[in-house]
Chain A
Amino acid sequence: MSAQERRKKRLDRSVKVRSEGLYSLSSWREMAYLLAPRLLLIGGLLAAPFVLDLYWQKVLCAAGIIAVLAMGFDFLAAYVGLVCLGGAMFIGFGGYAAGLLNAKLGLPPVLTIPLAAVIGACLSTVILMPCLRLRGVYFAIVTFMLPLFATHIIIALELFGSTEGITGLDILANHWWEQYVIVISLLAALFGLRRLVTEDVGLIMMGIKDNDQAVLAAGISIFRYRVLAVFIAALAGCFVGAYQAHLYGWLGLSLFAMDFSILPIAATVMGGMGTLSGPVIGALILTPLSEALRGFGQLRVVLYCLILLLFILYKPEGLMNYLERKYHQFERWEKV
């Protein structure tokens, strides 16, 4: 049969149709159908520390950091319309804040990580506030420049150990803590954000992205909601930044590395924009992949770019949207 004579017919599974609206589920089977993918992700992440060896456990921690940043990027880009390349800034601010609180004031990681998350998020939000009126690419450029700016200030003024950084920070108690802190904060961020975007606040933010005039006409300040959104993303980013400082017991300029701005975007493109869970999947694939390809030296970057390019060209919807469709729909070929 040639391609012209048949086409793929797609039908939503009935449970999907019913569970989207105001209707309810009628059996355990259907409940299981809806919960299975979520439980797979949660269970997989919680079980991972038991199956991985020490080396891959570190990779899991690194992947978790990228995953949280990627979710923040996705949230801002897909739900608020702000393309934020500030991952490096969040990691940097969070990491330096936590490191300094630890080194100078002697606070333990249980305190420095949450404190640094809040301090870093406030700082990022205040710095980005004047830029929130910028649209599209201008906001992206500013957020991309700020980490560079911060690096050069630290070098020029010889602040915080300058190029050497500060070593000997407290590290987390043991490798269980290391992993479960990141795994649990990742899951909390994922389900928290997914909840948020379906609440009224999320709808308003989406309105700002789609049709800001209607939001203004409804008497709602666009600026306030943008500030709130940036604060939320920065809070998550600075939290993992602070975590990273205590993971390696070290703070330094590489906390402001461009990787933290770029990898989350790659993970989001791969996983699927606007899904929030997609970027997590993307990060959990890309970070280990780039570790596995370490043996290839520079060729690793080529392969890496190739994968991204192929996704952008052939599966721009991303993995998550693709899998979701496959899961929720029957497909069959039918004659035309």
Chain B
Amino acid sequence: MAGDILLEVTELSKSFGGVHAVVNVGFTLSRGDVLGVIGPNGAGKTTLINLLTGFVKPDRGRVIYKNRDITGAAPNKIANLGLARTFQAMRPYHSLPAYKNLILPLNSPRIKKAAHGKLGDRDSVAIDILEEIGFERDARVPYKLAGSLPLGYQKKLELARCIALKPEIILCDEVFSGLSMAEITSMVPLLEKMVMQGVTLIMVEHRLRELFRVANRVLVMNFGCKIAEGPPLETMARDDVKAAYLGGGGSK
């Protein structure tokens, strides 16, 4: 199980007008990996996630997932194959209870197929997933309006929407940003638990110290290019990486 190659990315490139957002980025991801993707603002991290999940079509390059070419496939097709993602700018159904926000993934063809058409009570499935991720059922948190939840819960809700898809890979776009230390501390075990259960993670992060608690590898980007890849601490010690962070403007 662990160790086989899930995702193989070669020479992925995308430019918007004259902006080279992602240039020749390639990497492989094995099952059970937690790959941190870091780099200064505007380095192209979100664009990389968009390319992998089909929200943006690449100009060049290949994305192979489980020996299957998914380059440029429709986002909903890719999600159904088991690549779930979070969004940097979250927009839950503000006016609906939190658990109703899981209705979308629970109605996806992927989940319907897994359940052989019998879905049972989706509401209670949704509430179970939320409870697992730290929405206290006794305090009725899953029933609260999504818009009224604190940011920490909204980020967890975003993760829960991914988990509801029963994905193989989750691509997180800055799930830690904007959270307090305490909120991050409650989030890290959740991520660790997901990895234990066999989910592979790609995490775009600016909060490096917290990222390194979960990541076993990092990929450093600057101006759209991959400038380094390897185990976190060694990679961060490299001179070119330090230079990118110091010169790249304003990141922690």
B27 within 8 A of A: no
At the interface, is chain B mostly helix, strand, loop or mixed? helix
Name the distance in Å between A18's Cβ and chain B's nearest Cβ: 13
Could you list 10 further interchain pairs (A-B, Cβ under 8 angstroms) beyond the known A200-B122, A203-B104, A217-B53? A203-B100, A206-B93, A211-B91, A215-B76, A216-B75, A217-B79, A217-B87, A219-B105, A220-B76, A220-B104
Assess the A216–B55 pair: CB atoms within 8 A: yes
Closest to A22 in B: B143
Known: A207-B104, A219-B76. A213 touches B87 (CB 8 A): yes
Find out whether the CB atom of B103 lies under 8 angstroms from the CB atom of A210. Answer: no
B108 at the interface (CB under 8 A from A): yes
The 5 closest A-B pairs by CB, nearest first: A219-B108, A219-B79, A218-B104, A216-B75, A219-B80
B133 to chain A, nearest CB (A): 16
> Is the beta-carbon distance between B165 and A219 smaller than 8 angstroms?
yes
What are 9 A-B pairs with beta-carbon distances under 8 A?
A200-B107, A204-B104, A206-B93, A207-B93, A216-B76, A217-B84, A218-B108, A219-B109, A219-B165
Q: Are B55 and A214 in contact (CB under 8 A)?
A: no
Q: Does B85 contact A (CB under 8 A)?
A: yes
Task: Say yes or no: is A187 at the interface (Cβ < 8 Å to chain B).
Answer: no
Q: B143 to A221, Cβ gap below 8 A?
A: no
* Residue from the list B79, B91, B143 in contact with A216, Cβ < 8 A: B79
Contacts of B165 in A (CB 8 A): 218-219
Q: Interface 1/0s, chain A 8-45, versus B by CB < 8 A?
A: 00000000000001100000000000000000000000
* Residue from B54, B85, B91, B107 in contact with A210 in the complex, judged by beta carbons closer than 8 Å: B91
Instruction: Flag whether A123 is at the interface (Cβ < 8 A).
Output: no
Within 8 A of A (CB), among B107-121: 107-111
Q: Which residues of B contact A132 (CB under 8 A)?
A: none
Given contacts A22-B143, A219-B110, A220-B108, contact A214 B87 (CB under 8 A): yes
Contact of B143 among A21, A210, A220 (CB under 8 A): A21
In chain A between 198 and 231, which residues have their CB closer than 8 angstroms to a CB of chain B?
200, 203-204, 206-207, 210-211, 213-222
Q: Tally B residues with Cβ within 8 Å of A.
A: 27
Residues of chain B lying within 8 A (CB to CB) of residue A222: 76
In the complex, are the beta carbons of B161 and A214 less than 8 A apart? yes
- Chain A minimum-CB-distance residue to B54: A216
Residues of A within 8 A of B108 (CB): 218-220
Asked if B76 and A221 sit within 8 Å, CB to CB, the answer is: yes
Question: Which chain B positions have C-beta within 8 A of A211?
Answer: 91
> Given A203-B104, A207-B104, do A218 and B93 touch, yes or no (CB 8 Å)?
no
CA–CA, A210 and B53, complex, Å = 20
A211 to B91, CA, bound (A): 7
Rounded to whole angstroms, the CA-CA distance of A126 and B55 in the bound complex is: 27
A218 smallest CB distance to B (angstroms): 4
Residues of A within 8 Å of B53, CB to CB, are 217
Q: Does B233 contact A (CB under 8 A)?
A: no
What residue in chain A is nearest B82 (Cβ atoms)?
A: A219
Task: For B80, list chain A residues within 8 Å (CB).
Answer: 219
| Chain B residues, Cβ within 8 Å of A214 | 87, 91, 104, 161
